[in-house]
């Protein structure tokens, strides 16, 4: 079996919280010969958005120097945050540590991690002024996995989405009950 198929197979059955929905979406076509993209949405019991994200895997059998390997994982997570967090100078480092801790805790071996943490404030004016001010967190990151089995990388990314969404992590081996819709 070729390494790309191994990678695809390793992404087939992630364990999802009931608040999460995961689907395959169109992947970038020009960055690598092979790619897959998955999107997640986390919602609460009232279907209010808690977080959204993308998990993209790029594979170039020839490797790419900037990746230092044949694979690159590119991820994105966006979630609303409390307005007082927007002015906390340490929050960026804390949010970045959510990613690195999730990768380490999942046992996902990687190298060449890079990315950004962005906090945004959106204020509405004129015909939209009755909307409340929105504050969001975005974590954009990429890293090179040390193996083509990406299941632990997917697990880490889902843990990052969970943390960003404010959901309480479930203890290892505990499965959340399905929520009513």
**One-character DSSP codes across 78-108:** EEE--GGGGG-TTHHHHHHHHHHHHHHHHT-
pLDDT at 169: 83
29-78 pLDDT, tens digit per residue, is 999 999 999 999 999 989 999 999 999 999 999 999 999 999 999 999 99
Residue 3 has pLDDT above 90, yes or no: yes
Q: With contact defined as beta carbons under 8 Å apart, do 113 and 141 qualify?
A: yes
Residue 1 has pLDDT above 70, yes or no: no
72-130 pLDDT, tens digit per residue, is 999 999 999 988 887 888 999 999 999 999 999 999 999 999 999 999 888 888 888 88
Residue 16 has pLDDT above 70, yes or no: yes
Give 43-90 as a DSSP string. E-TT--EEEEEEEEEEEEEEEETTTTEEEEEEEEEEEE--GGGGG-TT
As a whole number, mean pLDDT of residues 136-149 equals: 97
């Amino acid at each position: 079996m070729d390494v790309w198929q191994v990678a695809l197979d390793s992404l087939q059955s992630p364990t999802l919280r009931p608040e999460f929905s995961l689907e395959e979406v169109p992947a970038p076509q020009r960055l690598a010969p092979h790619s897959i993209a998955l999107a997640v949405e986390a919602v609460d019991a009232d279907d209010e958005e808690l977080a959204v994200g993308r998990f993209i895997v790029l594979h170039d059998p020839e490797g790419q120097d900037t990746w230092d390997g044949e694979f690159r994982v590119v991820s994105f997570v966006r979630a609303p945050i409390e307005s007082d967090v927007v002015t906390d100078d340490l929050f960026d480092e804390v949010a970045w540590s959510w990613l690195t801790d999730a990768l380490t805790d999942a046992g996902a071996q990687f190298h060449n991690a890079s990315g950004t943490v962005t906090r945004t404030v959106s204020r509405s004016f004129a015909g939209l002024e009755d909307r409340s001010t929105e504050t969001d967190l975005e974590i954009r990151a990429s890293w090179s996995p040390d193996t083509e089995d990406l299941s632990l990388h997917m697990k880490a990314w889902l843990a990052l989405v969970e943390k960003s969404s404010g959901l309480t992590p479930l203890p290892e081996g505990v499965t959340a009950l399905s929520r009513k819709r």
